[in-house]
Structure 1
Amino acid sequence: MKYFYIIGFGLLMCFDTLAQISFKYASIHALPLTFDLSWLTRIFSHPWIYGAFIGYIGAFFTWMSLLKHAPVGPAFAASHLELVSVTLLSVWLFNEPLTFIKIIGALFILIGVLFLAKDESEHELSFSIDQKL
């Protein structure tokens, strides 16, 4: 079951990251904003909008599959790991600055996920010991 979580949350992070990065690229290609038929045609002629759709649909089905088995607390925290991956990719792809605040925020996210995962594993261990007694 451990590998199910690792693969599942890794896949969720990939789908969420794909969606966010694709929306960023789609928004760049959407300029100038004119809100007419030619603007809609321009948006839907770029593959990035479809990457965003694929990312969101994939994330939805992955999340629903994970929720069948994963505890909600750690699952909700782990579902936000894409904030770290999107931040790092945005620095590389879009030349966005990597500020001290972003680094601290990413560290807090990672630490929070680790603490919740550790707490849940300790809870499962004590629950299985209680059942055996």
Structure 2
Amino acid sequence: MADTVQQIAFKLTADDALPVEASLAYVTRLISEPSSLLIVATALAWLLIYTSLLRIAPVGPLFAAAHGYIVTVILASALIFGETISGFEIIGSILIVSGIVILALTEGGTPSKNMGT
């Protein structure tokens, strides 16, 4: 979820800082946008959440689930920005979710003996 919020914040920041130009003024506009703080906050939150989960969850399903944000970004982009969802995005989303489910069902749910030490 933090990744989805972060991607939406990236889009809002970029839109509000237009026009794009190779200048210090553009960088200043980017940094001064309130949504840029949201980008930093969600990055830090996600880092803490992910590293905490690495201690208790199997790496395979966790890594896959961590990248499931691609599906939620597609949905959020359609709902918030009115972007259209292509057939390829639908197929890709189904494959991503299927892969996460398969990994979650087939990967052992108990952490290894070396974890958490």
The two structures have a TM-score, normalised by structure 2, of 0.86
Q: Does 1:22 align with 2:9?
A: yes
3-state DSSP of counterpart to 2:70: helix
Cα displacement (A) at 1:86: 0.5
2:52 is aligned, of 58, 65, 76, to: 65
Aligned CA RMSD, in angstroms, stands at: 1.5
The two structures have a TM-score, normalised by structure 1, of 0.76
Cα displacement (A) at 1:82: 0.7
- Which runs of structure 1 show a deviation greater than 4 angstroms over 4 or more consecutive aligned residues? none
Q: Which has the higher helix share?
A: 1
Aligned counterparts, 1:45-124, within 5 A: 45-120=32-107, 123-124=108-109
Structure 2: runs of 5+ lacking an equivalent: 111-117
CA distance 1:124–1:38, shift in 2 (3 Å): closer
Structure 1: runs of 5+ lacking an equivalent: 1-13, 126-133
Cα displacement (A) at 1:34: 2.5
Rounded Cα–Cα distance in structure 2 between residues aligned with 1:53 and 1:108:
30
Residue in structure 2 matched with residue 38 of structure 1 by the alignment: 25
Deviates further, 34-43 or 54-63: 34-43
Q: Which amino acid aligns with 2:16?
A: H
Rounded Cα–Cα distance in structure 2 between residues aligned with 1:18 and 1:101:
23
Rounded Cα–Cα distance in structure 1 between residues aligned with 2:85 and 2:104:
27
Q: Which amino acid aligns with 2:56?
A: H
